[in-house]
Amino acid sequence: MRLRLIILVLALLAFLSASTGGWLYYYSLKQSAFHDAENYAHTRSELLRRQLNLFLSEHIRPVRALAGLKELRMVLEKSDRQSMIQVNAILDNFALSLDLDTCYLMNRHGITVASSNRNRADSFVGQDFSFRPYFKKAILGRSSTYLALGATSNRRGVYYSHPVYEKEGINILGVAVIKSSVELAESKLFTESEEVLLVTDPNGMVFVSNREDLRFNLLWRLDPAKIEEIKASKQFGNGPWPWAGFRHLADGHVRDREGTGYLFSALALDSHPGWKIIHLRDLTEIGKHLAGPFMEVVGPGVLIVSILIGISVVILYSMALQEILRRKTAEKELRWSEARYRDIYHKTPVMLHSIDTTGNIIRVSDYWLEKMGYDRDEVIGRPLTSFYSEASRRYAEGVILPEFFRTGVCTDVPYTYVKKNRETIDTLLSCYGVRDDHDRVVRSLAVSVDVTEKNQVQKELEKATQKLSTYSMDLERRVEKRTVELKKAEEKLRRLSGRIMAAHEIERRALARELHDHLGQVLTALRMDAVWIVNFLAKRDEDAAERAGRICALIDNTIGDVRDMAFRLRPGVLDDLGLEEALESLTGDFEKRSEITCLFQSTAIPPMDDTLATALYRIAQEALTNAMRHSRATVVGVVLTMDTGELVLTIKDNGTGFAFDDIGEASGFGLAGMQERATLAGGTLDISSEQGLGTRVCCRVRVGEV
């Protein structure tokens, strides 16, 4: 009786277990079916995306090749009948060879000038498509791929555009366009099936689908303003575009207006931002695929369980026996896995070791033993720190080990090992703690990396760096000493040059005075006598009087030349009225002699000594001379002004300019002399010039330091 009760209880438990298992099986099978459906949807969408991306990029290179043909460029530059015949033949050949919808050529204004569909009813030759985004991008120099409905053919297509450049490859003459039919890809890739496959634009417009009734429907509800934007773009015709009735649900699924739920999956197209491939699968169909097989399996199973209630104990015993066999098999595999792990552990060419909570070694790799020179029996059970140097042992026991058993990890800890032969090894140790069920560290798995050679190289590098630093400091002292000597020599040379230039100016002043006072007076007296002779001979000998008149004119010219020479040697206005009046006189004289417009501007300037005034005058004189001789300028400007305590003299022309690299020492345009005068005056001289942009000479002198 007791045995019967036990068997009855076991049978009842078996029945309850079977029923519960059946329900759990159905639940798990349902979850698995939905999971498989999601995986299938993702896989199908990913495959479709790759195929569609390949299709959308198929004609990028052909349109570039088409745009690069010289015949297209020629017909855009100069349209004639022969060129147009050649271009039409090329477009026909491309369309036929590549099985395209059409190929056409647009000028820079967006007007179609040639097309492979010119002889068809849907021809758009002469029509303006400049509003199309693919034309706008291409005319700016960027290739474009565009999905749209044909404006005249009313057929869906992929438009590929590329700019047509002129011969030099700079200016854009027009745009070459290839249109490939979407229907071909739709028939190959979007086959009839249970699921719904869609390609939508960023607004949810269905452009490609395996269901004809959904094409050019809005997948989601849009506000009227958005619909007007779609209509204005003309990308999908003039509408209307009805709403397909889909709505998002809270669980990530979607439902149509009839209430049918769908498993929703969406992937973005790589080359078309916002465009998506959408996969919809009816949830009811997924359930039907699940319920039929389940009833076919579970119904007979319940009947079998009812029939086998009497022998449930035997079944349970058999299952227990199988479990025992399975456990034995699992233990065997575990032992094999552990043996394999140990083999990998010992054979890895890295210093590996493990310690227990007391710090004693419980396992080391063969490479560790080989590196240290010990046998395994000499190492196992000994404290790891007994193989460290004294400093490393104190550091490990006082700092690292307590921290490791607290946190379970340490990284790049520097240690020094002492080998059996008493040699030392510098290492970096990284360690990971293995924890038990109570989250306590029970052993470690550590890796030691030999950095002895690296440390030796580092020490040698530090020594070399120290030697280099010492040498650098010594070199700096020598350079500093030599710099002081050079400054002294430069100062001496500057003073000597100053005395030479001062003496030069004194000689110029004396020579100018001599020319003006002595030679000028002699020529004046000679002119007076010549005038007397002219008057005396006027009534006696006309030929002699005429010759005497020419002598008088020659004397007048000589007097003018002597005055000009005296002025250029040392203008009296510089000594009498100062720099500002001297520069104004210099520019006026320069304009008369050179026929170059010379403009002089100045502001209020403070009084200055003769040396500074002479230096600035000579710099301006040399700069104007260079402009007259070399620049071929038409306008020269001279500006004298004050700027934050500095006296600034600027001479700028609009001539041809020059490159400093092209000027040799023998033809320096007097630049060195101007630089030397500016330096002697205590200022700086900046000369800037570029070929074709003129020359600018600017001298700055701080008045307080003069």
Q: Per DSSP, which regions of 152-269 are E strands? A: 156-165, 172-181, 196-200, 206-209, 247-248, 254-255, 261-268
Cα–Cα dist 608/703, whole Å = 8
Whether the per-residue pLDDT at 290 is higher than 50: the answer is yes
Choice among 11-20, 32-41, 125-134, 660-669 with the minimum mean pLDDT: 660-669
Q: Are residues 501 and 547 in contact, defined by beta-carbon separation less than 8 angstroms?
A: no
CA distance 126 to 115: 10
Which token pair is 480? Answer: 């500093």
Report yes or no on whether pTM surpasses 0.75.
no
Residues 6+ apart with CB under 8 A from 55: 158, 185, 189
pLDDT at residue 706 is higher than 50: no
Whole-angstrom distance, CA of residue 186 vs CA of residue 201: 16
Give the helix ranges, DSSP H, for 58-149: 60-67, 70-77, 81-97, 133-139
Q: Torsions phi, psi of 586, nearest 5?
A: -65, -45
Three-class SS state of 103: strand
Buried residues in 117-133 as b, exposed as e (16+ CB within 10 A): bbeeeebbeeeebeebe
Is pLDDT at 2 greater than 60 in this prediction? no
pLDDT digit string, tens, across residues 639-694: 999 988 889 999 999 988 877 655 544 344 577 778 888 887 788 999 988 888 88
Distances (CA, A) of 460 to 65, 425, 426, 467: 61, 17, 15, 11
Place of tokens 């009225």: 577
Task: List residues bridging with 689 in a β-sheet.
Answer: 695
CA distances 536 to 64, 461, 527, 531, Å, are 97, 104, 14, 9
Cβ atoms of 424 and 456 closer than 8 Å: no
pLDDT at 595 over 70: yes
Are 622 and 636 a contacting pair, CB within 8 Å? no
Amino acid at 157: G
115-129, 225-239, 406-420, 551-565: least confident range: 551-565
Percent of the chain with pLDDT over 90: 12
Q: Are 205 and 111 in contact (CB under 8 A)?
A: no
- Residues 6 or more apart whose CB falls under 8 angstroms from that of 625 comprise 670
